[in-house]
Structures are given as C-alpha cells and as structure tokens.
C-alpha cells in the first residue's frame, strides 16, 4: 500500500503541508506538485491526498483540471482532501475539488494559512493589507488538523 500527496500552491503553504503530512506517514509516501507534473499517474497508489491553496476564492487551475480529468479513477481510491485558507469559509472551499470527490473523501480538512508578504506583488499586498489588516508575513497553520487528517487517512 502506498500513498501519493498531490498538491498545487501559489506561495508554498500547500507544499509545506504536504511535506508535514509526508513526515507523519508511516508507510511509503511521495509528494507531487501538479503544476510540475500535470499528467501524473495514480495507478500504483491506493491512497491519494489532494491539497490546494485558495487564492481569490479558487484553487489552482492545475488541480481543477486534474480532478476533472481523473475523477473516475480518484473515486476508486482512498481519498483525502485538504485546503490551505485563512478564510472562515475554508470548509466550503473543500468542495472546489468537485462535489463527487468531496462526498467520496474519507477525510476533509482545512489546514489554516500563511502569508508570505515578501512573495506578494504590490496589488496582492494592498488586498492583504485591506482584508487581513496586516503588513507582515505570518503562519496560522493548524497542526492539530494536520495530525487528525494523517490519523484519519491512516497515513
């Protein structure tokens, strides 16, 4: 039995969370950035974790395309979904993977968020300053949610 954690990310938070999950795994686990490998094959894996960050109320197009193209195969796997979002509507965002995948998933969690001020362009900084009321980087990852997810997925 092997596990793959597929993620997409804008600034690196979903990648960081995928790494934390991999560290918690007690069996063979690989992580894959779908932006770098959009045609990744799920065939050798029995457990699939999909993770994405939310930006402008959407997940990355690579994840959306992967979920649509691979939906039938994903529905045959032990599936888990995670979202990185600082928005209170984070659990709603889990449905951005697709309603059928959302219903099928054994575990669905919001892992919190991080702000990387230095990676943002001026427009993104302005929006962050207005919405989040901050001018600095910070991390609000929910470590308990990550641990609970790993346990629920039997990673």
Q: What is the total count of domains within the chain?
A: 1
Distance between CA 135 and CA 121 in Å, rounded?
13
Residue 80 maps to which CATH number?
3.40.50.360
Question: Helices H, strands E: what count in the chain?
Answer: 6, 7
Instruction: Give the helix/strand (H/E) hosting 4.
Output: strand 3-8
Asked if the structure places residue 29 within a domain, the reply is yes
Q: Answer whether residue 32 is part of any domain.
A: yes
Report yes or no on 137 lying in a domain: no
Mean pLDDT by 10 residues, the chain (155 residues): 92 93 94 94 96 86 95 97 77 83 95 74 68 68 93 94
Domain presence at residue 52? yes
Q: Is residue 12 part of a domain?
A: yes
7 falls within a domain: yes
pLDDT of residue 123: 66
Q: Is 95 contained in some domain?
A: yes
Which pLDDT belongs to residue 96? 87
3-state secondary structure 50-113: EEEECECCECCHHHHHHHHHHHHHHCCCEEEEEEECCCCCHHHHHHHHCHHHHHHCCEEEECEE
In the three-class reduction of DSSP (H, G, I as helix; E, B as strand; rest coil), residue 37 is classed as coil
Instruction: Give residue 34's pLDDT.
Output: 96
Q: Report if residue 127 sits inside a domain.
A: no
- Give the structural domain span for 12: 3-114+142-152
Query: In this predicted structure, what is the pLDDT of residue 114?
Result: 67
* Burial (CB count <10 Å: 0-12, 13-18, 19+), residue 154: middle
CB neighbours of residue 5 within 10 Å: 27
Contact yes or no for 111/81 (Cβ under 8 A): no
């Amino acid at each position: 039995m092997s596990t793959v954690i597929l993620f997409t990310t804008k600034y690196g938070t979903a990648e960081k969370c995928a790494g934390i999950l991999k560290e918690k795994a007690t069996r063979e686990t690989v992580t894959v950035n779908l932006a770098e490998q959009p045609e990744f094959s799920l065939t050798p894996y029995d457990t699939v974790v999909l993770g994405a960050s939310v930006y402008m109320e959407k997940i990355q197009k690579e994840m959306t395309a992967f979920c649509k193209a691979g939906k039938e195969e994903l529905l045959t796997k032990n599936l888990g979904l995670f979202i990185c979002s600082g928005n209170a509507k984070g659990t709603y965002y889990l449905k951005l993977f697709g309603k059928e995948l959302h219903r099928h998933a054994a575990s669905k969690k919001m892992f919190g968020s991080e702000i990387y001020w230095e990676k943002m362009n001026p427009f993104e900084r302005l929006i962050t300053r207005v919405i989040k009321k901050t001018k600095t980087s910070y991390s609000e990852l929910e470590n308990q949610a990550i641990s609970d997810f790993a346990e629920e997925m039997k990673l």
